[in-house]
Amino acid sequence: MLGSLEHMALSERFAARNYLPLPVVLRSGSGAWVIDVDGRRYLDCLAGYSALNFGHCHPRILARAMEQLTRITLTSRAFHHDQFGAFVTDLARLTGKESVLPMNSGAEAVEAAVKVARRWGRRVKGVPENSGTIITMSGNFHGGTTSVVSFSTDETVRADFGPFTPGFRPVPYGNLAILDAAMTSDVVAVILEPIQGEAGVIIPPPGYLQAVRELCTARGVLMIADEIQSGLGRTGRLFACDHEQVVPDVYVLGKSLGGGVVPVSAVVADNPVMSMFTPGSHASTFGGNPLGCAVAHEVVGLLAEGDLIRRGAMLGERLASGLFPLIGRGLTEVRMRGLWAGIDVDPSVGTARAVSERLLQAGVLAKETQGFTLRLAPPLVISEAEIDLLIDALRTAVSG
């Protein structure tokens, strides 16, 4: 059996270096805990960037996946299958929308949302052909495809990948006046993360989302909320938009929709928008496959029960009570909603990468997202005692 060093050496030798992982090789996991190939346990406080909101190997999700694995896993959408209808019905009901387009990765769902917004702009709003503009936000992260990075403002993901897809207009996140000025007649949609995850859990000013909603309605523009990381219980509500009682025209979902088992994403909207998709206009061989639908349907069931969402809100308060006292004692700022926190590390104690490496040594997994920002996103199944363990480890890691 290979040890950690041998596994990492193989990765360095044969894998593209598009990630810089922490030096740990994980073998198994359950709940909020994982075990590496050398037998050491770690408290997972990143949860796959919210893909593992329900923890590792959640028994209900795993049982549903195992059951479906023995029946049928893929048909393509060329045929109906018995898992599809029930899944899209219950996801539509959960989200309060009328129609669901299942996809695989979050980036695929974002691409689909861009396409439906452009066609809606052409066919419903009457924007001239090939001129539908989508307003985006500075600091965004919506995925890694060529079109998606075309509206990123992060040069790390853009450098030397051009030429880029036209038709996107970036504005500063949280600045309503500039957004208003950017709303020219060719604009068909505004896409934004209600909380920007990759940027460091950046929360917009109070009332901003509501003002964006009102502005989009007044100008006849679709509001698209990318809730891939922030949605499905992460912030203590079903959606981060719910904190301002905002309902966008389009939700983009992903990550935890697949229960940490399979990649499942979705675009969810009402029929006047989703009817823009017609047979042959958008496709995915694996999108809406039987295995993915079965797993995601179980996820929808867990969310509909509400217990895990309420747990995220309650444990978020406990996490906050431990994090905010560390401001001035190794941290310079804490931003959080529910069980999602972006914490800025005082440069005097090192970079966020250095702090994540200290946490690793203490048996806690977290990851930097910017030079001095650490992101925490423990699974919703974490316990109060485990939250306290995280806070104790972090206090030590930033003590200098």
DSSP 307-362: HHHHHHHHHHHHHHHHHGGGBTTTEEEEEEETTEEEEEEPGGG--HHHHHHHHHHT
The residues that are catalytic are 141, 226, 255
For the cut 70, the answer to whether the pLDDT of residue 283 exceeds it is: yes
Mean pLDDT of the chain: 97
How far is Cα 190 from Cα 185, in angstroms, rounded to an integer? Answer: 13
Residues 3, 38: contact at Cβ < 8 Å?
yes
Using 50, 70 and 90 to split pLDDT, how confident is the model at 24?
very high
How far is Cα 81 from Cα 185, in angstroms, rounded to an integer? Answer: 42
For the cut 80, the answer to whether the pLDDT of residue 245 exceeds it is: yes
How far is Cα 276 from Cα 60, in angstroms, rounded to an integer? Answer: 36
Average pLDDT on 147-175 reads: 94
How far is Cα 296 from Cα 262, in angstroms, rounded to an integer? Answer: 9
For the cut 80, the answer to whether the pLDDT of residue 264 exceeds it is: yes
* Whole-number percent of the chain with pLDDT over 70: 100
For the cut 80, the answer to whether the pLDDT of residue 218 exceeds it is: yes
Average pLDDT on 373-384 reads: 97
Q: What is the DSSP track for 281-305?
A: SS--SSTT-HHHHHHHHHHHHHHHH
Cα→Cα distances 254→51, 102, 247, Å: 8, 10, 18
How far is Cα 392 from Cα 359, in angstroms, rounded to an integer? Answer: 10
What per-residue confidence (pLDDT) applies to 239?
A: 98
What per-residue confidence (pLDDT) applies to 400?
A: 67
Please indicate, yes or no, whether the overall pTM of this predicted structure exceeds 0.85: yes
For the cut 90, the answer to whether the pLDDT of residue 62 exceeds it is: yes
Average pLDDT on 343-351 reads: 96
What per-residue confidence (pLDDT) applies to 1?
A: 80
* Whole-number percent of the chain with pLDDT over 90: 98
Residues 280, 110: contact at Cβ < 8 Å?
no
For the cut 90, the answer to whether the pLDDT of residue 352 exceeds it is: yes
Identify the three-state secondary structure at position 244.
Answer: helix
Strand partners, 374: 343, 368
Between the two ends of the chain, the Cα-to-Cα distance in Å is 38
Domains and CATH numbers, the chain: 60-307 (3.40.640.10)
Average pLDDT on 386-396 reads: 98
Using 50, 70 and 90 to split pLDDT, how confident is the model at 370?
confident
